[in-house]
Amino acid sequence: MSARRIARYLGLDAVDRPTLWVFVAAVLISGWARFAVAPHIPLWLDEAWTGGIAGQSTWGETIRQTWLDANAPLYYAIMHVWIGLFGASNEVMRFPSLVFGLLTPFLPLVIRIDGWRTEDRLAMGALLAVWTQGIILAQEARCYTLLILLATAQTLCFARLLTGPSTRRALVWALLCSLVIVTHYQALALGAVQGLIYLATHRLKAVKTWPAVLGFAPGFAVLAWHLPRLLQFARPDVAWYDVATLDTLASVGIFLGDSWWLYALPVIGVLYLLGRALLRRPLMAAQAGRPALWLAGLSAVIGLAIVFGAGMVRPSFTLRYATPFLPGVIMLFCLGVRAVSVPFPAARVGLMLMALLHCADWSTASAGKIWRYFTYEAASRDLLATHPTRLVFIWDHPAQQVEDPSQYVAAGGFFFRRAGSNVPVTPVMVRGDEDPNIALTKAASAPGSVILWLYDTRVRGTAAVRFPPRITVVDPSFGCHDYGKGRFGVLACSRTWEKP
């Protein structure tokens, strides 16, 4: 296919040039930022957990560890193949997230929707590219950039389905819903809301596409397989998040919009449309856009409200769980700006430029300054240098009540195994009023044993809050060093180190 035909398919042959050039600049600057903002930082706790699960030597062990974990399995399956082919170095483990993040901005161009102007598609792609949280997530070996990629495709295909129902379109959308669900279970709310909107909007036409229901089968099959384990993590005494509040809601707004001032133009546009509707004045198609696009964006807002509302009732929400709803929110941004682009033609480019400049300023100011203190990579390296005969490991966390000791073996020994060490790992699980200091020193009584104790004092149920570390008091033969900072404790202890 020639470059001219590709440009014609993407709608770039007759596009407004300033919009195209800002999109190109957004992709280039965000691409640079994904490489430059946080280079060479160590893997933090969750990333090491990814390595522990996906880095198992067999598919059977990876599947078992995936079932034991609280997260959905698709990303772990991809990473198991990736690590098996290319190893588990920090850069290699983070590379798939980088690729997913770089691909996402192009989806609005590739997935065509009738009546959606190319300028609006470029604006959505640019906003997806320069979303600063996405730049951070693209440098982590976690599922979230894969989630953004798939949720963007799902949202776009849902809007496409609303413009013209067909079994084929419905099946593609349903399959994408399944992929999103098996990437992050809370994203189920997005697909559920979209399904209800589809039925309410097209009714009999939607019912006639019923064979597409088969597309949901993989997602719900995996969810049913994993549900017994998920229910254990959902127990109120095990869940480690705080209950969501109105302050949390404000944080969600900043998380999705980067800065409140980016909401200004879209909100003005929405208010303008509402005002004309209330006054019963006609709306130009160039201002309002297709209803399917508004409904696709609205589905994200409703889905996010459901997930957030559940988090206000019981501890089940953290900011990153808003990620799958980002594409719909950005679609609403673009529609809001479209509403004022007739009287103010530069509004769309203005929003893109504001987001681009914010990203460039943030990236330049943040480059080399982002750090993860909840990491035990350096601690593991220094412990390994003592040539230990055993690693005694504890992740001091309320989830200990339901977690399996093999999970601690997989995660605690990840950096040792990556370095080629076969040092056995002894997991320590403390419950109730048990003192980790006593449990750890008892498990490490044999000569050559070393200790690694991870905790976060802001997480309720953390034993280190009730029993502050005093390993060197309980067993004076140990020397200890805390590699964490503030709330994060990464206590490593060895008998070969200098005593206090």
* Confidence band, pLDDT 50/70/90 cuts, at residue 500: low
Using alpha carbons, select from 73, 76, 79 the residue that is nearest to residue 95: 79
- Report the percent of the chain where pLDDT is more than 70: 95
* Predicted local confidence at residue 9, as pLDDT: 66
Residue 348 has pLDDT above 70, yes or no: yes
pLDDT per position as a tens digit, 423-477: 999 999 998 789 999 999 999 999 999 999 999 999 988 999 999 999 999 999 9
* Predicted local confidence at residue 288, as pLDDT: 56
Residue 274 has pLDDT above 80, yes or no: no
pTM of the model: 0.94
* Predicted local confidence at residue 122, as pLDDT: 94
Residue 284 has pLDDT above 70, yes or no: no
Residue 283 has pLDDT above 60, yes or no: no
pLDDT per position as a tens digit, 387-422: 999 999 999 999 999 999 999 999 999 999 999 999
Which of 232-236, 269-273, 347-351 bottoms out in mean pLDDT, i.e. has the lowest? 269-273
**Within 10 Å of residue 118's Cβ, how many Cβ atoms?**
20
Mean of pLDDT values over 283-300: 77
Residue 496 structure tokens: 């070969």
Q: Which residues contact 244 (CB under 8 A, 6 or more apart)?
A: 308, 311, 312, 317
Average pLDDT, the chain: 91
Please report, for residues 52, 60, 330, 409, 410, the alpha-carbon distance to residue 416 in angstroms, rounded to integers and kept in the order given: 11, 21, 42, 11, 10
* Confidence band, pLDDT 50/70/90 cuts, at residue 237: confident
* Predicted local confidence at residue 8, as pLDDT: 72
pLDDT per position as a tens digit, 43-66: 999 999 999 999 999 999 999 999
* Predicted local confidence at residue 205, as pLDDT: 95
* Predicted local confidence at residue 236, as pLDDT: 84
pLDDT per position as a tens digit, 4-46: 676 676 667 667 788 889 999 999 999 999 988 888 899 999 9
Residue 270 has pLDDT above 90, yes or no: no
Please report, for residues 220, 358, 370, 376, 436, the alpha-carbon distance to residue 32 in angstroms, rounded to integers and kept in the order given: 38, 14, 16, 28, 44
Mean of pLDDT values over 237-253: 88
What is the distance between the alpha carbons of residues 133 and 328, in angstroms, rounded to a whole number? 16
Mean of pLDDT values over 117-127: 92
* Predicted local confidence at residue 321, as pLDDT: 96
* Predicted local confidence at residue 14, as pLDDT: 66
* Predicted local confidence at residue 499, as pLDDT: 66
* Predicted local confidence at residue 345, as pLDDT: 78
* Predicted local confidence at residue 373, as pLDDT: 87
pLDDT per position as a tens digit, 129-187: 999 999 999 999 999 999 999 999 999 999 999 999 999 999 999 999 999 999 999 99
- Report the percent of the chain where pLDDT is more than 90: 73
Please report, for residues 73, 380, 447, 489, the alpha-carbon distance to residue 454 in angstroms, rounded to integers and kept in the order given: 25, 12, 22, 6
Residue 286 has pLDDT above 70, yes or no: no
